[in-house]
């Protein structure tokens, strides 16, 4: 029965031992344990606040990145618009120069055609004049083979000259 109900001496020594262990733990272990717990609590608190600051900083960076992306898109659109306008301007200038060059070439061709036409007409007139003179000369030689025909012709010319 002694095992089921402990003796007073055993309980007394157990209480004394417990109090000694409690005193020793309070004197030597309790303070470092509490200090370690408070240090741990402080480091956890610091880590949480650092994480919160990092989270806020990440949100700020995200907003700044979005702002930069929007600015970059606007700049890209502006550059594309300017490039398109410059391309259209170059094409328009090239078209205008081509039209001017074409008009100049057409004017030169017309002028050359007109010059050639005048030259051809003059050549044709000269040829016609030479042919007319040649034909007239042949006719006159044929008609003026005899002396009487020559005198009659001369008399006729004299009359025409004095009549006019």
Tens of each residue's pLDDT in the chain, 164 residues: 456 777 788 889 999 999 999 998 888 888 888 899 999 999 999 999 999 999 999 999 999 999 999 999 999 999 999 999 999 999 999 999 999 999 999 999 999 999 999 999 888 888 877 777 777 777 777 666 777 777 777 777 777 765 44
Separation of alpha carbons 110 and 103, rounded Å: 10
Degrees to nearest 5, angle at CA 108 with 103 and 114? 125
Separation of alpha carbons 140 and 132, rounded Å: 12
Query: What's the farthest any 2 CA atoms get from each other in the chain?
Result: 199
Task: Give how far Cα 41 sits from Cα of 38, 49, 52, 79, 137, Å.
Answer: 5, 12, 16, 56, 140
């Amino acid at each position: 029965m002694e095992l089921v109900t402990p003796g007073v001496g055993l309980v007394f020594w157990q209480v004394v031992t417990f109090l000694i262990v409690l005193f020793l733990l309070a004197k030597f272990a309790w303070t470092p344990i509490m200090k370690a717990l408070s240090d741990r609590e402080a480091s956890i608190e610091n880590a949480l606040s650092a994480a919160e600051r990092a989270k806020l900083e990440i949100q700020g960076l995200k907003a700044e990145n979005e702002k930069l992306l929007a600015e970059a898109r606007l700049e890209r659109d502006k550059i594309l618009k300017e490039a398109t306008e410059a391309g259209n301007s170059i094409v328009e200038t090239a078209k205008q120069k081509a039209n001017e060059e074409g008009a100049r070439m057409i004017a030169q061709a017309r002028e050359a055609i007109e010059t050639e036409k005048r030259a051809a007409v003059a050549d044709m007139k000269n040829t016609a004049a030479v042919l007319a003179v040649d034909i007239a000369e042949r006719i006159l030689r044929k008609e003026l083979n005899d002396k009487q025909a020559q005198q009659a012709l001369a008399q006729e010319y004299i009359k025409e000259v004095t009549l006019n």
